[in-house]
Structure 1
Amino acid sequence: MGEKHRVRFEPVGIEIDVDEDKTILRAASEQGLQLMHGCKEGQCAACKSFVLEGDMDEIELDKYSTFALPDMEREEGQTLLCRAHAYDDLVIELLNYDEEIIRSGLPLRKGTVEVLANDPVTHDMRHLVVKQIAGEDIKFFPGQYMDLTVPDTGEVRSFSMANLPNREGVFEFVIKIYPDGVFSQFLENKVAVGDRIEVEAPFGTCTLRENRTSDIVFIGGGAGMAPLLGLLRALSEKDGSERKARLYYGARTRADLCFEDELHALEEKIPGFRYIPALSDHDGDDWDGETGLITEVVRANEPALEGMDAYVCGPPPMVDAAIALLTQRGMDERHIYYDKFTTTGEPEDEG
């Protein structure tokens, strides 16, 4: 353990002690503070913040991408909380925050899970189901994610839960298989029912805002289906809710669509809910639905979005394009909640 320093977050006025050996984000998460974050690897910029007080020379950053934090922004006093180590007392201005989420966070818990199922749902996505068998009970909010450690490697990968919190300690994931992915190859070629995996959770802030009553637009692609499915399942369980919702989900071909039966069933459970899939590379066979990039489908179907909320989960280019479109159509950016599904690897550049 290193020396501890006091870090205060403004404008919420919350103070915590941060060990030099831990990033500011990690220290906050361990103490139950859910600061905005995404990849935890310095690639997505969701945790970007401004140093109001403190010597920038007393902040050490682990490796990060200069796409997330350009040199000019770092020189101006901005930093990435998921990469930053404090070596002095600091005052941090949160540039992207939700006070309700910050104060209602759940502390991190570690445990061991056992694999219950590992089934393909498309040619390159798996439905992994596990159950916790050891450690403190892990609690989470729909839309959050879990870190899983690949056995015998020490490599950690993050995946969103697709299910609702439950007393049985069961967690579901929808995971995309990449040809050279460490966890992908482990999942595709080695994982069997009964295997055990070390985990830690919860992470992430793309959760359903309970104090909001606005209608919702969900936009997703690829494994972004997992958190969106969790959020929709949560929305369907809310008695008396009149929040209308629609899910725009982009896939390349019809074979890349999944959970369609459940999504159509949710159209009957959630008032005014519509599931709108779109194919970017359809072959014309037995498909009369939407075609093209999912953001263009949203553009064609959503002329005005003032006063609404959005949840966007998927590859970074899709998320960025969706945020730009939603704000153009009148949505308040403060009510756009997102998860960028970055792939794990060496950041593009060392800070």
Structure 2
Amino acid sequence: MGEKHVVRFEPVGIEIEVDEDQNILRAAAEQGVQLMHGCKEGQCAACKSFVLEGEDIEYDSYSTFALPDYEKEEGSTLLCRAHAYEDLTIELLNYDEEIIRSGLPLTTGTVEVVSNESVTHDMRHLVVKLVEPSEIKFFPGQYMDFKIPGTEETRSFSMANTPNRDGLFEFVIKIYPDGLFSEFLNEKVAIGDRLEVEAPFGTFTLRENRTSRLVFVGGGAGMAPVLGLLRSMAERGVERKATFYYGGRASRDLCFEKEIAELGGQLKDFRYIPAISDPGDADGEWQGETGLITEVLRAQEGDLKGADAYVCGPPPMVDAAIATLTQLGVSEHNIFYDKFTTTGEPEGEDGT
């Protein structure tokens, strides 16, 4: 362990101690301070902040798309890659004080594989059961890190379920050719296998103090956290108007259609709008929307001023959806997103 330094976050006035061996985001999470973040790998920029005081900061590797050199020189930083070597004061640029102060402590544990079933041609519905400890607390929409057996690598996956007494966790995971976890999930994992995990991560959670309309936009494995939020809303009787736009390249990319229809019957004012961007002969007489999901969103909606939007999927889709939503009147402060970055081939805007 290295020396410890104090990092103060403004404008919320919260201070934490950070060991030099930890990045700032990790240290905050361990102390129950839930800062905005996404990939934790220096790729998505969700944790970008500004250094007000202090200069001695070292960085793990990161993408210059997330933090260009000129922004770093002006004082910007990525909390998920930054190590403090002196006391710092940091201005949070993207924050939600309700979320920051309701953070849950990180917990490591062991889970056992219960089922691993295909839900589309390239996505799996993985269900695991907690072995130890007795509980890992989380909010619907958050994600869990899995350690890949035989390696020091971890991969992150959003939970599709709500907290439950059975200790079950559900995930919707895309299978990538030659992907490290994908190959393991596709070819090696067996029912009863045990895996090391850590959770909760992520801030893709429902802001409970609001009554505004909800717009969900998803693609690919972005189904998982949105499904978790919809399940939670149905369980708790949340009566906010909500629309879920979900895109795929073809009808074979759509999943959980039956359950979403059932959830629609439990929610007060809910619409589900699936769309496919490249229909072919196999799609038969597709009766739904066609085009990129952002195009469908724009065609279906008028003024969205005052709405809250939740966007989850591959980076091109997320970026396009954020641009579309802001053009339709959604405040950037009311757009919450998870970019599903990958070490394999990048996905397109349609989630494939």
Does the pair score TM above 0.5?
yes
Question: Could you give the per-residue CA deviations for residues 260-313 of structure 1, whole angstroms, max 9, x where no partner exists?
Answer: 000111111111101100001112512011000000000000111011111000
The alpha carbon displacement at 1:134 in A equals: 1.5
Alignment of 1:109-128 (within 5 A): 109-128=107-126
The alpha carbon displacement at 1:319 in A equals: 0.6
| Alignment partner, residue 45 of structure 2 | 45
AA in 2 matched with 1:23: N
Are 1:338 and 2:337 an aligned pair? yes
Alignment of 1:81-120 (within 5 A): 81-120=79-118
Unaligned runs of 5+ in 1: 347-351
Instruction: Give the secondary-structure state (helix, strand or coil) at the position aligned to 1:75.
Output: helix
AA in 1 matched with 2:262: A
1:200 alignment partner, one of 189, 198, 201: 198
Question: Could you give the per-residue CA deviations for residues 46-78 of structure 1, whole angstroms, max 9, x where no partner exists?
Answer: 0000000001xx100100000000000000000
Alignment of 1:1-351 (within 5 A): 1-55=1-55, 58-135=56-133, 137-239=135-237, 241-283=238-280, 285-344=284-343
CA distance in 2, matches of 1:59, 1:101: 26
Bigger relative CO (Cα 8 Å, ≥ 6 apart)? 1
Instruction: Give the secondary-structure state (helix, strand or coil) at the position aligned to 1:311.
Output: strand
| Alignment partner, residue 349 of structure 2 | none
Distance 1:136 1:83, change over 3 A: farther
CA distance in 1, matches of 2:106, 2:306: 33
The alpha carbon displacement at 1:136 in A equals: 5.6
CA distance in 2, matches of 1:125, 1:138: 25
The alpha carbon displacement at 1:167 in A equals: 1.6
CA distance in 1, matches of 2:134, 2:164: 14
> Percent identity over the alignment?
74
Aligned residues of 2:179 and 2:344 also touching (Cα < 8 A):
no
CA distance in 1, matches of 2:134, 2:62: 32
CA distance in 1, matches of 2:337, 2:261: 23
CA distance in 2, matches of 1:109, 1:80: 23
The TM-score, its normalising length taken from structure 1, stands at 0.96
CA distance in 2, matches of 1:159, 1:185: 15
AA in 2 matched with 1:90: L
- Point out 4+ residue stretches in structure 1 off by more than 3 angstroms: none
The alpha carbon displacement at 1:169 in A equals: 1.3
The TM-score, its normalising length taken from structure 2, stands at 0.96
| Alignment partner, residue 349 of structure 1 | none
Aligned residues of 1:162 and 1:174 also touching (Cα < 8 A):
yes
AA in 1 matched with 2:84: A
Distance 1:149 1:262, change over 3 A: same
The alpha carbon displacement at 1:215 in A equals: 1.0
CA distance in 2, matches of 1:150, 1:242: 40
Instruction: Give the secondary-structure state (helix, strand or coil) at the position aligned to 2:233.
Output: helix
The alpha carbon displacement at 1:331 in A equals: 0.8
CA distance in 1, matches of 2:134, 2:25: 21
Instruction: Give the secondary-structure state (helix, strand or coil) at the position aligned to 1:274.
Output: strand
Q: Give the number of equivalent residue pairs.
A: 343
Instruction: Give the secondary-structure state (helix, strand or coil) at the position aligned to 2:323.
Output: helix
Task: Indicate the RMSD between aligned Cα atoms, in angstroms.
Answer: 1.1
Unaligned runs of 5+ in 2: 346-352
Aligned residues of 1:146 and 1:161 also touching (Cα < 8 A):
yes
AA in 2 matched with 1:250: G
Instruction: Give the secondary-structure state (helix, strand or coil) at the position aligned to 1:188.
Output: helix
AA in 2 matched with 1:119: E
Aligned residues of 2:10 and 2:89 also touching (Cα < 8 A):
yes
The alpha carbon displacement at 1:345 in A equals: 6.7
CA distance in 2, matches of 1:267, 1:111: 34
Aligned residues of 1:305 and 1:330 also touching (Cα < 8 A):
yes
Aligned residues of 1:19 and 1:27 also touching (Cα < 8 A):
yes
Aligned residues of 1:157 and 1:344 also touching (Cα < 8 A):
no
CA distance in 2, matches of 1:235, 1:310: 15
The alpha carbon displacement at 1:150 in A equals: 0.8
CA distance in 1, matches of 2:266, 2:126: 25
Instruction: Give the secondary-structure state (helix, strand or coil) at the position aligned to 1:237.
Output: helix
Aligned residues of 1:110 and 1:136 also touching (Cα < 8 A):
no
Distance 1:208 1:222, change over 3 A: same
AA in 2 matched with 1:3: E
